[in-house]
Amino acid sequence: MIKAIHNIIHKNPGMQNVVFIQFFGLATPYFCQHNNSLKIKTMTTASLNNIELNELTAVNDAKQHCKATFPLIGAHGSKQLATVYFEIEPGDNLGSHTDSAEELLVILDGHLEATIGQEKGEVRKGEIVLVPEMVPHDFKNIGSTKARILGVFGGVNNIVATFDKDWLPLHTNVVDTAQL
């Protein structure tokens, strides 16, 4: 496979300006201009500081509102984990939902009320929350600043989240990262 990519690069001199090529979730090959050779890129990064977010609001519930994206999933080369990053403004909540995999949430900023199954508790910046697979959960921002959360799903590279309410502009309550 690497030889095939190497041949493609050498047969297409215009590709010398390509820094790297995403290739079906495998270690990413890229062309090294310094010594005309093919290298393997094994590190994948995503900046949460300047990532493009999708704004979502629930149908008939303006307080179920967040901005979110999936910075690392199977489509980006992940084999055994998936991530979600979301932001919630003060007074807003994420919305009750279940996920098809266990999720570890890292509270990067903010003060939230977490509801996991029948339990409620407060979480703040620097804390983590474990949500079992298929257990309903929700997060409400009870602080005075925007909350920033990173969720990590173990053992899978795609997840299905099923919310109680439909999201706009999606017009569905299901988010399936395999479809992204």
Q: Over 50: is that where the pLDDT of 49 sits?
A: yes
Percent above pLDDT 70 for the chain: 77
pLDDT band with cut points at 50, 70 and 90 for residue 15: very low
DSSP string of 82-151, one letter each residue: EEEEEEE-TT-B---EEESS-EEEEEEE-EEEEEETTEEEEEETT-EEEE-TT--EEEEE-SSS-EEEEE
- Could you tell me the pLDDT band of residue 68, with boundaries at 50, 70 and 90? very high
Q: What are phi and psi of 101, to 5 degrees?
A: -145, 155
What are 136-160's pLDDT values in tens digits? 999 999 999 999 999 999 999 999 9
CATH superfamily, region 54-179? Jelly Rolls (2.60.120.10)
What separation, in Å, do the N-terminal and C-terminal C-alpha atoms of the chain show? Answer: 26
* Whole-angstrom distance, CA of residue 117 vs CA of residue 99: 12
pTM of the model: 0.78
Nearest to 38 by CA among 16, 58, 53: 16
Give residue 11's pLDDT: 40
Q: Are 173 and 163 in contact (CB under 8 A)?
A: yes
Is the preceding omega at residue 13 within 30 degrees of 0, hence cis?
no
Q: Quick one: pLDDT band at residue 42, thresholds 50, 70, 90?
A: confident
**Strand pairing partners for 55?**
67
pLDDT value of position 43:
80
The pLDDT value recorded for residue 78 is 87
Mean residue pLDDT across the chain: 84
> Domain ranges in the chain?
2-41, 54-179
Question: Which stretch of 40-44, 104-108, 117-121 has the lowest confidence by average pLDDT?
Answer: 40-44
Q: 115 Cβ partners below 8 Å, 6+ apart?
A: 96, 136, 137, 138, 139, 140
Q: 102: buried, middle or exposed (CB in 10 Å: 19+, 13-18, 0-12)? A: middle
When pLDDT is cut at 50, 70 and 90, the band that residue 90 belongs to is: very high
How confident is the model at residue 75, as a pLDDT?
87
Of 19 and 79, the one with more pLDDT: 79
Distance, CA of 4 to CA of 171 (rounded, Å): 42
